[in-house]
Amino acid sequence: MYNETEKPSSEYEITINKLSNQIEELFSKIHYYQALIAEKEFQIKQLIKDNQNLIAKVQKLTHQPTPPPEPSQESYTPPTFPSNSQPYTPPTPPPIPIKQPESSFSLSEDPRINKRVCPNCGAMGFAIREVDDKSKVLSYSPRRMYAKKKECTKCRYEW
C-alpha cells in the first residue's frame, strides 16, 4: 500500500508545478506588453515631433505671401471680328415645302380621332377626361349646367 503522506505531497507538487507554469506564462505576457508599450511610446514621440515640424512649415507658408499666378499671354488670344467692308447678311432659311392636298379628307383633321390631346404632355385618348368646371355656371334653370373642362390624368394639367 501507499503511504498516506506521499500521496498528498505529490498532488501538492503537481498543483505547484501547474501554478508556477501559469506564473511564468503571465510574466512572459507582462514582459511582452511592457515592450509593446515602450514601442508605442516611441512612436507617439516620433509622431509628435513630425506634427510640430508640419505645424512650423504651415506657419511659414501662411506668413509668406504668394502672388497669384498670372495668365500667360500666349494661351489667350482675343477673338477677331470680321471687317466692316462686307455688310452682315443673315443666312437664308431653307425653303418651306408646299403642302399639296392628297384628298379632301385627312385623318389628322378628323375631330373624332384628335379630340383629346393634352397640350402639356401630349397624352391622348382615355388619359384625358372631361369634368364639370364648377367655377363657370352656364345656366341655373331648370337645373345648374356647368362648363366642361378637360383634365390630363397623367400630368394633371387642366384646360
Supply the pLDDT for residue 1: 46
Q: Residues 35-72: pLDDT tens digits?
A: 999 999 999 999 999 999 999 999 888 877 767 777 66
Provide the whole-model pTM: 0.33
Domain boundaries of the chain, sorted by first residue: 1-64, 111-159
Rounded CA separation 159/151 (Å): 7
Mean predicted confidence (pLDDT) in 130-159: 92
